[in-house]
Structure 1
Amino acid sequence: MPVTSDELRSQWDKPSEVFSVLLILGGDVIGRALAQLAGSGLAPVTFSFGWVAYSVSALLSAIGENKLMPPKPDCVCKVINGRNGNSRENTSWILGRIIRDHEFWMDAKVKERTDQILTEKMVQLGSSKKPTIAGLVVSIYKPDDTKQQKTATRDMVYWSGLVSIALQLGIAIIPLGIHGDWGVLIVTAAGTCLAIATGLLPQWRREKWACRENSKDSYILTRGNGSQHAIVILGNRNGLNLEDLASGQTNVSTNATYFTCVALLILCVLWIPLLITAAGISENTWYLFATGIIGIIQNMFAAGAPRKPSNFGIHLQFEEVIGETKVMETLYATETKYPGIGRRLRDEFFSGEMRPAEIEKWEKFENLRG
């Protein structure tokens, strides 16, 4: 018992080799954090636990799957061309995130109208509790002419990375100042440089925005029939081709280049001596753990935090919101203001048999469009 107690006390006093083990565990969080931040200059994804594992998986993904971005979006949605009605299942990670985070970035008028519709439906049903879904709410946006598409704006997620890196280096320098021990600083600084180098690879941008620009078509983003919201992005000369983007990550033209594979191989090899160095540090290891903990907290925040479309390089201006307690009424109102868009929404959100009056109404819309 005394021997066991001494061993445990010694391990908790000066934990050794544990940090090197943590470096090779996990890695999925880092991949998503990079997907959030990489592609538009410096990507401040901090050095943390799991980077060695991620470097290996990224190399295998680039060689085997020819991709760096996560293989599947974490929110299933559709992209519908407002002009011809062509519908595509989305494979773009950033479009999936834009739909997933819609409640976070939607305009205040959209939230207000949605609440009104739910209240009206509650009254119609004679219920004391608001329903979770009622009717359909269509948010109308247009590309922002004043900003450059495919260039992400900075937000709290981005700045948290820079602050975390500075904090990590500040902690790592403490043992050097107090004990003259530079081991923790070397590991932290080297890990930070390798992490930043990974986020600077041009492949991130090629995959993230795999689409043509200056599209004049309008697009509809939606989770599909039964959802509360549909997002309409009107076409103008500054718009991105969202059909391209929806299928861009499966496009052969975005496959990982020879340079990307070689760069990832070099980075993967460089993580190995860092792993060996970290395993050899036996003094002041709690400082190393502190930098790793700060890093993984920032990575988790960056990987899961909701963001606005502009933070993904898709700049939009809010136009208006259209919503009624009945889906068909919303479709009528949308078609009246935006000919053709309501018709495309009808194909997605109304699959039942229409009444004679509804058929007549849509025939009138068709005649007006010529």
Structure 2
Amino acid sequence: MSPVLLSLASMPPLFYHLARRQFSPGDPSGEFSDQWTHPSDVFSVLLILGGDVVGRALAQLAGSPLTPVAFSFGWVAYSLTAVVSAIGENKLMPLPDCACKVINGRTGYVRDNSSWIIGRIVRDFESWMDGGRRDGPIRKQLRKMLDQRWEEDKAVMEKKEPGSGRYVARPSQAGLCVSVYKSDRARPGNPGYDFAYFVGFATSVLQLGIAAIPCGIFGDWGILLVTASGIILSFATGSLSQWSKEKWACRRNSEKTVVLTRGNGSQHAIVVIGHGQGLDLEDLAAGPTNVDVSTSHITRIAVILLATLWILLLITAAGIRQNTWFLLAVGGIGILQNIFVAGWRRRPEAFGVPLTPAGVIGKPKVMDTLFAVERAYPGLGRSMLDTFFPGKLRPDEQKKWDDPEELAKSVEACWANA
């Protein structure tokens, strides 16, 4: 035996295998090329990511028997989350993504909001407050308030140091702006037939068209089958009646006047006067806990069945090895639609809460705004006092609110300076 073979035979097994290994730097590039040519298992992995986006898109559009949330990445993850939520928490609707408060205009009772509808109305207020117009009454009042505050700030600086007023920047926020609306006839169950609603149908048609390309060219009908099945399952998930029950879990034909606001320090407060036509927004703010809308046995069974079908679809999609770029395109277009719908700014009527503008009140100082609101709507300004002034009032301010005559003088002075 040659000395080389003897030396190899005397090596430990690990070193022996290392000595026999083949140095192949071209293997990774070949694997990468194969993966980018025919991506394998990518779609099945992506199906379990992004479930929260799907949940928000469903919350936005749910209401009617047909909820057009497109088939996309994230549906499998969402289906499992829905099972846990339906069985463990007795609900399907997600929590609102905008923290705000609801104030009873008569009693001053403050409730933290847990309604998706109210959260979105407050979150998107600046986009719909003047019907999207730049010259609406609320925007004009805001500009007036900012200009008044700016002049006051410049005057203060001029007193301290003459000539320094011109260096004062225009403030971005001033006082409190209270916008008043009257409720029109409420339409609970209305999913909002706007652009965000109809784009889901267009997306599904486009997805089917893309999935049909490999079927027509190569005879590969697997991608079309997965896409069609995903669209059916996604529409079926959104069609559960539980969505509508939870989304509008409140009493109707309310006479209440309520205030919607982000709380102390916010620029806006939205007053909604019920007039016996609108939803009870204070009731709605409590969420489905105030009405018996817990998930029924039928809903739980349906959610479990849908989750099972989604998992089976995931397993089926994992077996596709050819033309997978078409499947990725289908999922990518779907997730774009989900993201668009989840973040889209909608008007209150899209949530079944049509509102008619009834005026706007705003002063550069919050206390002056509350005095003005009190004059226009007796009791309403006082109901907002504890929210915007949670601490102890100054003695002179407390006297004004405690003494009817002093309050009347303050209110009249506030309007005289308007």
Q: TM-score, normalized by length of structure 2?
A: 0.83
The answer for the alignment partner of 1:115 in structure 2 is: 143
- Note the 1:1-370 alignment, pairs <5 A: 1-70=25-94, 72-107=95-130, 108-126=136-154, 128-145=168-185, 148-251=187-290, 253-351=292-390, 352-355=393-396, 359=400, 363-364=404-405
Higher RCO structure (Cα 8 Å, ≥6 apart)? 1
1:27 deviates by 0.6
Q: What is the SS of the residue equivalent to 2:102?
A: strand
- CA displacement, residues 73-125 of structure 1 (integer Å, 9 cap, x when unaligned): 21111111112222211111221111111111111321221122112111110
CA contact (8 A) 1:139 1:229 kept: yes
Cα pair 1:151 1:313 within 8 Å, conserved: yes
Q: What is the rounded CA distance, in whole Å, between the counterparts of 2:295 and 2:240 in structure 1? A: 10
Identity rate, percent:
54
Counterpart CA distance in 2 for 1:149 and 1:58 is 23
Give the C-alpha shift of residue 182 in structure 1. Answer: 0.9
Q: Residue 142 of structure 2 aligns to which amino acid in structure 1?
A: T
Structure 1: tracts of 5 or more residues without a match:
none
Residues of 1 paired with 2:397 and 2:53: CA distance? 53
Superposed CA deviations along residues 277-331 of structure 1, whole A, max 9, x for unmatched, are 1111111111100000000111111111221111112111111111111222212
Say if 1:23 and 1:52, in contact at 8 Å, map to a contact too: yes
Alignment deviations for residues 47-96 of structure 1 (CA, whole Å, 9 cap, x no partner): 011111110110011101111111x3211111111122222111112211
* 2: CA distance, partners of 1:260 / 1:117: 51
- Output the amino acid matched with 1:239: G
Determine helix, strand or coil for the equivalent of 2:330: helix
Shift of 1:346: 2.3
Mapped contact 1:157–1:305 kept (Cα < 8 A) = yes
SS for the counterpart of 1:63 is helix
1:149, distance to aligned residue in structure 2 (A): 4.3
* Distance (Å, rounded) in 2 between the aligned partners of 1:306 and 1:233: 20
The number of residues matched between the two structures is: 366
Distance 1:365 1:249 in 2: 43
Q: State the distance in 1 between where 2:398 and 2:82 align.
A: 57
User: Which deviates more, 186-195 or 12-21?
Assistant: 12-21
> 1:138-178 CA distances to partner (integer Å, 9 max, x unpaired)?
00001124x63442422221122122111111111111111
Measured in 1, the distance between the counterparts of 2:191 and 2:372 equals 34
CA distance in 2, matches of 1:162, 1:134: 43
Measure, in 2, the Cα distance between the counterparts of 1:156 and 1:365: 52
- The TM-score with structure 1 as length reference comes to 0.94
What RMSD in Å do the two structures reach over aligned CA positions? 2.0
Q: Secondary structure at the match of 2:31?
A: helix
Which runs of 5 or more structure 2 residues have no equivalent in the other structure? 1-24, 131-135, 155-164, 409-418
Q: In 1, distance between residues paired with 2:399 and 2:249? A: 40
